[in-house]
Structure 1
Amino acid sequence: MFESLGKYILLLRLSFKKPEKSSVYWKEIMREMVSVGVGSLGIISIISIFIGAATTIQVAFQLSSPLVPLSIAGKISRDSNILEFSPTISALVLAGRVGSNFASQIGTMRVTEQIDALEIMGVNAPGYLISPKIIASITMIPLLVIISIALGITGGYIACVVTGSISPADYLMGVNDGFDPLTIKVALVKAFVFGFLIASICSYQGFYTSGGALEVGQSATQGVVFSCVWILFADLIITSLML
């Protein structure tokens, strides 16, 4: 375990050494940002809308007592989306979509000796392959989380209109009631940390792949599993420290 941690830290240090040619790295960062951000927008949008709608309906069902104002459902749905559903579930989905892509891409380059060729040419392989992925992830995943929050709240409103479990006016009243900006800060901190964990862990698994196609698949699977575990652990720590 300690050996793996040492290799992980060393790989991160090598990834952020001064680049040989900044323009090449900048092109890689832009390409990865498009892949992570634009490529993930569709699945994040669909998940956010449906989770927001389902959460609102379930909260309305639980608040069937006439003593509880229905507007509280909007507040609970809003805070649940901001604090937990949007950052954490989005990160778990992105670990599967983005993380597996990172691990398999780098792992394939390792087993086909492309990384060895880069190192022979004097290129800092970790910096060229991993740092753009980390920078793109910590930049784009917070943006995706913000979009997810907005779509989750919108999904709750759509559920109110379609099902009639809560009137849209009551829902909007709850959404606007007692908003605390700290919840947005917590969500963005989570998104930043989750993005770093996904990119670094999956890249690490891919970089130290050995063997052939079977091992590349195993590295991608391990990267996703380890990323999800650390995301849940980091979620608990950040929530405990900031709330």
Structure 2
Amino acid sequence: MLQLKDFACGYGEFTAVDNLNLTVDAGSVFALMGPNGAGKSSTIMSIAGHVQVTQGSVIFNGEDITYLPARQRVHLGIAVAPEGRRLFPDLTTVENLTVGGYSRPKEEEKANRDRVFDLFPRLAERADQFAGKMSGGEQQMLAIGRALMAKPKLLMIDEVSLGLMPKVIDVCYAALDSLRGEGITLLFVEQNTARALDVAEDVCVLESGKTVWAGTADEAKANPKLLDAFLGLVDASSDEK
């Protein structure tokens, strides 16, 4: 479904990711991992069309989308729940979801919203609450739900569990498992090593903008050197923001 070929991206003269080659199969779950500042978020946001590609190409379902505007990528089936959630704090849950579904026909809105509420019943309870007044866990559910309103073929989530309580992390991962069962392709960034390797099929580890390891999640689990050098010191936070 997705290929990055000799890919580089950055901000002005600063290169965030350099010479990345990556393939994500349709219907698979792919984890981007590595320490802070490795280029994971830049990669995600560049695929979504928000960070400049400076080299190589981005291929989605056989189509070169390297220089396609972000809004057109949404229409093709790419959606992202960004790091920091980036919700509209003065809009309600329902209003944020409506914004997420702008690319879909209006008559689909209720069915798509109901699907989100089925995944995250807490959001149904908070339907009329302003996003800025919600807990961090509720905001994360809403950020994922807003992306789902676009009915994506590829859903990208940047930092699934960062700063969330364990029970909320469980809810988010249960939702990912359900989405995988529906055949949605998932590409996510995660700092909780154990959870990422449990759900992912394939893994790419970045450091300082370059690939240091790539393979299956099972191969990563069996590689003590990899875990110690790049992943072993990264754990989930137990404090919800």
Give the TM-score of the pair, scaled to structure 2. 0.24
Give 1 or 2: higher helix fraction: 1
Larger radius of gyration: 1
Give the TM-score of the pair, scaled to structure 1. 0.24
Structure with higher RCO (Cα < 8 A, 6+ apart) = 1
